Amino acid sequence: MSTKTMELDRNLEPGLDAAKAPPEPGRNAGPFSNPRTKYWLTAGVILVALVSVLAWLHYRDRVSTDNAQVDSHLFPVASKAYGSVAEVLVNDNQKVKAGEVLVKLDPRDLQARVDQARAALALAESQSRAATVTVPLTAATTSSSVAAAEADLEHARLAYNQATTADLAYAQANVEKTQATADRARADLERMRPLAAKAEISALQFDSYVAAARVEDSELKANQEKLAQARENAEISRAALAAADARVAAARANEKQVEVRTADASAAEAAITQAKANLEAAELQLSYTMIASPADGVVSRRSVERGQIVQEGQGLMVIVPLDKVYVTANFKETQLANVHPGQKAEVTVDTYGKTFTGHVDSISGASGALMSLLPPENATGNFVKVVQRIPVKIVLDGVAPNSTPLLPGMNVEATIFTE
């Protein structure tokens, strides 16, 4: 080793000895060597741990989301009749009560239809009364006609029986009796004729036999004529009986008129029912000219003006009920494992910075993406797993709409206590 190297080693040794020597008391050896620093550092670590434990205990039984807003069941007001707007009684943002008239349509056209329907009803009622009166009258007339025809038939039957039995038999008997008498008178005359020729009897006696024969012949002719007349009378009685029978049949056929009149009365009653229905429909259409509010609330989106022609079903305005609002909170699907209806909830409204209490009313049956206008189609092969949002309906408890009105569409922050 050279002399310069030995001198360099001797010069470095004091520095090495100094590094190896322990630090002198009172000198700063590092940031953690101070006992006070160690105390505050330990206290800070304990405080952070305590705060973390408390935060975990505080948030472990609750889920929150700021993807929430105030909702309400809006009531659209539309015209139920065609017509001209005669008067608009409300303005935008005006509070209204249920049943309060909002818009009036010109009722003259519909009033004319009501008058026509009322007149048609009066006519139908008049026709029904006439048809109702005709039924018993027709029944009584037909019944009397049938009775008279049956009486005539019975009389014709008796007359026919008499003409074909007693009268005809009597005339036949007279003819036979007179025939016998005439035969005997002619026989006596023939016996007396030779005697008169021999002058064995007087001419006076012979003349009496001739006269008797002539009398009997005339009586025979008269009785024969009576027999012929009796036979003619029998034929006339038979014709009268047939005519009477035909009248009875015709009278009984007229009994069908009762059924016809009864059917007419029923048709008239049906016409009354139809006329009443038409009148009620016309009156209902007339009532549509007074468009009233369906619920308490505030008028919004008024789009109707006086003089405007509105169509049936045309929207005029929207009624927003402020006393029936609720909150729709869109929670992540990973937050709903322990959420169920009835759980307590808190809602912080951005507008007021206040917190309102409520409870979970229901959970939607599908995610918001699936219920959107264009739901995602995952079958195309471009599927990317994204945490979905499930709407949860929260009903608020005891909110006074006059002091702190919650308007649909307001942003809120919702918290559900799942314990």
Give tens-digit pLDDT for 11-52: 444 444 444 445 555 455 455 567 777 778 878 888 888 777
Task: Note the pTM of the prediction, 2 decimals.
Answer: 0.58
**Residues 122 and 243 both lie in one domain:** yes
Residue 1, domain member (yes or no): no
Cβ neighbours around 322 below 10 Å, total: 18
Rounded Cα distance between 372 and 370, Å, is 6
Convert the pLDDT of each residue in 276-296 to its tens digit.
Answer: 999 999 999 999 999 999 999
How far, in Å, are 83, 196, 207, 333 from residue 338 at the CA level? 55, 159, 153, 11
* Helix, strand, coil percentages in the chain from 3-state DSSP, rounded to 5: 55, 20, 25
Beta-sheet strand order (sheet of 290-292): 290-292, 101-105, 83-88, 309-310
Token pair, residue 48, equals 């952070």
Alpha-carbon Rg for the chain in angstroms: 63
CATH code for position 245 = 1.10.287
Report d(CA 101, CA 363) in Å as an integer. 37
Do residues 208 and 142 both lie within one domain?
Answer: yes
How many domains does one find in the chain? 3
Instruction: Specify whether 159 is located in the same domain as 93.
Output: no
Residue 40 token pair: 């505050």
Is residue 248 exposed (0-12), middle (13-18) or buried (19+ Cβ within 10 Å)?
Answer: buried
Q: Which residues of the chain register pLDDT less than 50?
A: 1-21, 26, 29
Q: Which domain holds residue 304?
A: 77-107+287-316
Within a domain: residue 6? no
Shared-domain flag, residues 182 and 255:
yes
Given this model, what pLDDT does residue 233 score? 78
Determine the 3-state secondary structure of 200 from DSSP. Answer: coil
pLDDT for residue 14: 47
Instruction: Return the pLDDT at 3.
Output: 44
CB 360 within 8 A of CB 343: yes
